[in-house]
Amino acid sequence: MNRMYSPWREVYMQSFKDDKPAGKDGKSVFADIPPEEDEKRFVLFRGKSCFIIMNLYPYNCGHLMVIPYLQTTEFSELDPATKLEVMELTDLSIRALRLTLKPQGFNVGANLGRIAGGSVDNHIHFHVVPRWEGDTNFMPVLADAKVLSNDMKSTYKNLKNAFADLTRSEEQ
């Protein structure tokens, strides 16, 4: 198997030395993001028990994550209201992505535990990855190539507007 070197992920992966979670006092990189840092950290939407953030190291353009405020590794530790909000915000994410990036499909799921692929395995989170026919799909594995065609900041602004429009129309 060929290996592809991804130097842009090194800084991120270094935050997990010795299998200890990143951040102070065992807090994850997703814990306690202050609202004034939303744009800097690419937080798109805040709900009652979860928030939506852009993945800084996306599998595809527009790769979003739905993250409970409660830092836990176990799905079973989320209360019923939080589990419901995870699904509602996943749906909201899909609708916002359809408006802005017009994907033809989605991958939705979670990597529970490091062995399952979770690089932030101390804080459960759920991925929403937009997909297009002919996108990179298995290109990183088969051809040592990964193409990301969108600028994160402009994608953030477009998605932020879409979230605002969608939630405003739901409130009316």
* CATH number assigned to the domain comprising residue 151: 3.30.428.10
What domain range is 54 assigned to? 40-133+145-157
Catalytic (active site) residue 123: no
Tell whether 111 is covered by a domain. Answer: yes
Tell whether 30 is covered by a domain. Answer: no
Q: Summarize pLDDT for 89-141 with one digit per residue, the tens.
A: 999 999 999 999 999 999 999 988 888 777 788 899 999 999 988 775 555 66
Q: Summarize pLDDT for 42-96 with one digit per residue, the tens.
A: 999 999 999 999 998 888 889 999 999 999 999 999 999 999 999 999 999 999 9
Distance CA 145, CA 115 (A): 24
Alpha helices in 69-142 (DSSP H): 80-100, 139-142
- Cβ contact 131:60 at 8 Å: yes
Tell whether 19 is covered by a domain. Answer: no
The pTM is what?
0.80
**pLDDT reading at 171 higher than 90:** no
Tell whether 126 is covered by a domain. Answer: yes
Q: Which amino acid is at 25?
A: D
The H or E element that residue 43 is part of is: strand 43-46
Per the structure, how many domains does the chain have?
1
Tell whether 46 is covered by a domain. Answer: yes
- Cβ contact 69:27 at 8 Å: no
Q: Is 96 helix (H, G, I), strand (E, B) or coil?
A: helix
Nearest to 41 by CA among 26, 23, 60: 23
- pLDDT tier at 21, thresholds 50, 70, 90: very low
Tell whether 45 is covered by a domain. Answer: yes
144, burial (CB in 10 Å: exposed 0-12, middle 13-18, buried 19+): exposed
- Cβ contact 91:149 at 8 Å: no
